[in-house]
Amino acid sequence: MAEGRITPEKQLLNLIEGSKKENEKPVEHIDKEAFRRKVNSYFSFGAALGRISFFKDWIKSAFKGGKFYVDIKSLNKILTFGIFILAFYFMFNFLTSIMNSEKISSLELSVASAAGAPFNLPEVSSLKPASHYLEEAKSRNIFALVADLPQKEDEQKRINAKLSEMLQNLKLVGISWSDDPDIIIEDTKLQQAYFLKKGQKVGDFTIKAVYKDRVILSYGGQEIELR
């Protein structure tokens, strides 16, 4: 009897040994492929369609006979479905914002690199080589040009004086206006009138242009107005 009886000390020893055996159980390794399939089953397109189909069936069953029936289990499923939709929405927005920020960063980088690129204008000199100016100086007689200026001025004065002398004897009598107007000019010195048209000559003058109140005469490249 004494040997078959378990003492409190023996019971305590058995409990300690039993806890050691439980702790010595091998740790179960997680199968990565199985875990991935399980996660995909929650977030796959088919799973989303299944949840939507379940939600539709639940709505139909909840409104049977025009009354709304709901229990705690169904309510939890609705909340789980709503949380799933919100999580998917926020995940989609997060990924979209990351992609857009990367595009903006790359665009800013390309713009900055383009703006920082040096833009070199070709060097254009407005001055010609010194040899060019030396050749120009050799081909021109500077002193001859200075000497010719008074001669040209005297020649112009003589031409103007002759024009004034020739013109003082001419008088515009009238203009018969038409598509091809007739001009009547009188030579007061010779006491003679001339019926002329544009392009004809009176004395040494050529009628270059005709207006309603005047004519333009030309002589030696010079033009003078007769009214």
Does residue 59 fall inside a structural domain? yes
Does 102 lie in the same domain as 171?
A: no
Does residue 185 fall inside a structural domain? yes
Please tell me the predicted confidence (pLDDT) of residue 103. Answer: 65
Helix or strand holding residue 81 (H, E) = helix 72-116
Most confident of 12-26, 71-85, 185-199: 185-199
pLDDT tens for 110-164 read 555 555 545 454 555 556 666 666 677 666 655 555 555 667 777 777 777 777 7
Answer for the pair 131, 150: CB distance below 8 angstroms, yes or no. no
Kindly report the number of other CB atoms within 10 A of residue 28's CB atom: 6
Single residue among 88, 108, 128 that ends a domain in this structure? 108
Does residue 214 fall inside a structural domain? yes
Q: Comparing C-alpha atoms, which of 120, 226, 87, 210 is closest to residue 166? A: 226
d(CA 27, CA 39): 22
Please tell me the predicted confidence (pLDDT) of residue 211. Answer: 92
Length of the chain: 227
Banded model confidence at residue 209, pLDDT cuts 50, 70, 90: very high
Does 167 lie in the same domain as 104?
A: no
Single residue among 108, 126, 151 that ends a domain in this structure? 108
Q: Comparing C-alpha atoms, which of 135, 137, 156 is closest to residue 145? A: 137
Helix or strand holding residue 31 (H, E) = none
d(CA 178, CA 180): 5
The CATH number of residue 208's host domain is: 2.30.30.830
- 27 has pLDDT over 60: no
Does residue 205 fall inside a structural domain? yes
Does residue 211 fall inside a structural domain? yes
Does residue 14 fall inside a structural domain? no
Q: Comparing C-alpha atoms, which of 175, 179, 226 is closest to residue 203? A: 226
pLDDT tens for 41-69 read 665 666 667 767 776 776 666 666 555 55
Rounded to two decimals, what is the model's pTM?
A: 0.33
Does residue 200 fall inside a structural domain? yes
Instruction: Extract the runs of DSSP E, i.e. beta strands, from the chain.
Output: 170-176, 182-187, 192-196, 201-202, 205-210, 215-219, 222-226
Which positions ≥6 away from 69 have C-beta within 8 Å? 61, 62, 63
pLDDT tens for 184-205 read 998 888 888 889 999 998 888 8
How many structural domains does the chain have? 2
Percent of the chain with pLDDT over 70: 51
Does residue 1 fall inside a structural domain? no
DSSP-assigned letter for residue 203: T
- Residue 180's domain comprises 161-226
Q: What is the mean pLDDT of the chain?
A: 71
